[in-house]
Amino acid sequence: MLDIIRYVYMLRPVWAVLAALFVGAGLIAVSGVNPLTAYSELFSGAFLDYYGLAGTLVKTSPILLAGLAVILPLRAGLLNIGVEGQIYMGGLFSTFAALLLPPMPAMIHLPICILFGALGGGLWGLIPGYLKALHGLNEVIVTILLNFIAINIVSFVVGGPMMQEGAPYPYSDEIGEQLFLPIVLPGTDAHIGFLVGLVLAVAMYFLLRFTTTGFALDTIGSNPQAARYAGIPVRRYVMLSMFAAGAIGGLAGALEILGLKHRLYHLFSPGYGFDGIVVAFMAQLNPLFAPVAAFFLSGLKAGALVMQRAVGLESTVIEAILGLVIIFVAASLAFTYNRTFWKLLLERRRQVEADLGASMGEK
């Protein structure tokens, strides 16, 4: 019995998502649309249709990577709100590598572009890591500020020095066709980005589960003082985890440019960094669950437009439902499994039943 209760608790995010979809159904009903029709259009459009699935996978790539970029430092107790900025810097650096380096074979050039993106994001992530480790500055405040700075830097670059001549709004020249990422589903935009995310998720799971690095991060996350006392170099791990997280965020930006956009746009990420926070919490900080959460979330976003066309419901409702999802998931995490409490409760119940049985027998 206790095991069943424990599993029910482990599935908290699932219940929370269902609850959010239920409340969301109320929002949909306000428009006078049948929520069941809307949801079935949404999910069949996002997961069952070939092109719809491709649309979902395209979004899964940045959202999954952003989720991983939040999970890694959060295991060490650092909340990386700055993934959005890291995505922008990754996109910027990989565009630099794609457009400004001298011509070379694509076999060499493409990995360089990807590495540049990761490096750009990583250095951007290292700033809050450094300030946290050596000045004790709150990483949340610093990363929020850095997001705005990164977005403005990209706007400046594509609106000025790198703007394509005669472009109607700020964007750069197109990158060479040999640098486009391979497509997974023929005839669609679904590039290999989500596979990269999947591989990274598994790798991160093994890193966190089976290596001393993972153990050190978890120790710092639960008690930094104890970690320092145990001889773990806390500062080094803080900087390292923020650099790695930034590199993953930068990778998300690089793959978005190389795989989908093919040129750097002003405001090219519609808040994927913030979706990453939702993913991290839905996955309960476990990298293995992150792909599932990211796939589901991308499906909601991709299906929203299908739903809007099919039943005439404003797609903005999905933004509201996403907000509900994260609120419910976050709230659900406050209810932790308390073994002694449930054991006591079960024992008391057994006692009451036994007493009742005894008193029944007496009669």
Partner 1 sequence: MEQLFDAQFMADFLGSSLRLSVPIIFAAIGGVLAERSGVFNISLEGCILGGAFGAAVGTYLTGSPFCGLMLGITVAGSVGIMLAMLAVGLGINQLVAGIAINLLMVGLTSYLARLILGGDATSTLPGFHPIALPGLASIPIIGPVLFQQDILTYLMYLVVPASWWFLYRTPWGLNVRAIGDYPVAADSAGISVPFVRTVCVIVSCMLAGVGGAYLVLSQVFVFTEHMSAGKGFIALAALILGRWNPVGAFLACIFFGMSDALQLRLQFTSPDVPYQLFSMVPFLASLLALVLLSGKVRPPAAIGKKYVRGGK
Q: Which residue ranges make up the site for partner 1 (CB under 8 A)?
A: 27, 30-31, 79, 81, 131, 135-138, 140-142, 144-146, 148-149, 152-153, 155-156, 159-160, 274, 277-278, 281, 314, 316-324, 326-327, 330-331, 333-334
Dihedral of CA atoms 351, 355, 361, 363 in degrees, nearest 10, equals: -160
Please say which residue, 85 or 253, places its beta carbon nearer to partner 1: 85
- Do 323 and 300 meet the contact criterion of CB atoms below 8 Å apart? no
Tokens of 305: 């437009």
Q: What angle do CA 103, 97, 262 make, to 5 degrees?
A: 95
Of the pair 150, 244, the CB lying nearest partner 1 is at 150
Pick the closer one to partner 1 by CB: 174 or 314. Answer: 314
Of 227 and 324, the one with the shorter C-beta distance to partner 1 is 324
Q: 19 vs 330, which CB is nearer to partner 1? A: 330
Minimal distance in Å, beta carbon 351 to partner 1? 29
The residue (of 252 and 282) whose beta carbon lies closer to partner 1 is 282
Q: How far is the CB of 170 from partner 1 (least distance, A)?
A: 10
79 and 139 in contact (C-beta within 8 Å)?
yes
Q: Nearer Cβ to partner 1, position 189 or 319?
A: 319
Rounded least distance, CB 124 to partner 1, Å: 13
- For residue 59, the minimal CB distance to partner 1 (Å) is 16
Q: How far is the CB of 235 from partner 1 (least distance, A)?
A: 15
Shortest Cβ distance from residue 203 to partner 1 (Å)? Answer: 26
d(CA 62, CA 90): 12
Could you tell me where the DSSP H helices lie in the chain?
2-10, 12-30, 35-43, 50-75, 83-100, 106-135, 139-159, 193-210, 212-222, 224-229, 234-256, 272-282, 290-311, 316-332, 339-362
Q: How far is the CB of 207 from partner 1 (least distance, A)?
A: 24
Complex with partner 1: residue 138 or 351, whichever CB lies closer: 138
| Half-sphere exposure of residue 100: CA atoms within 13 angstroms, side-chain side | 10
Task: Tell me the residue type at 165.
Answer: E
Cβ proximity of 280 and 73 under 8 Å: no
Beta bridge partners of 322: none
Shortest distance, position 317 Cβ to partner 1, whole Å = 5
- Is residue 122 within 8 A of residue 246, CB to CB? The reply is yes
- When the beta carbons of 19 and 183 are compared against partner 1, the nearer one is 19
Residue 281 · residue 305 · CB < 8 Å: no
CB 89 within 8 A of CB 123: yes
What is the closest distance, in whole angstroms, from the C-beta atom of residue 318 to partner 1 in the complex?
Answer: 7
151, 85 Cβ separation under 8 angstroms: yes
Using the CB atoms, write b or e for 18-53: b if 16+ within 10 Å: ebbbeebbeebeeeebebeebbebbbebbeeeeebb
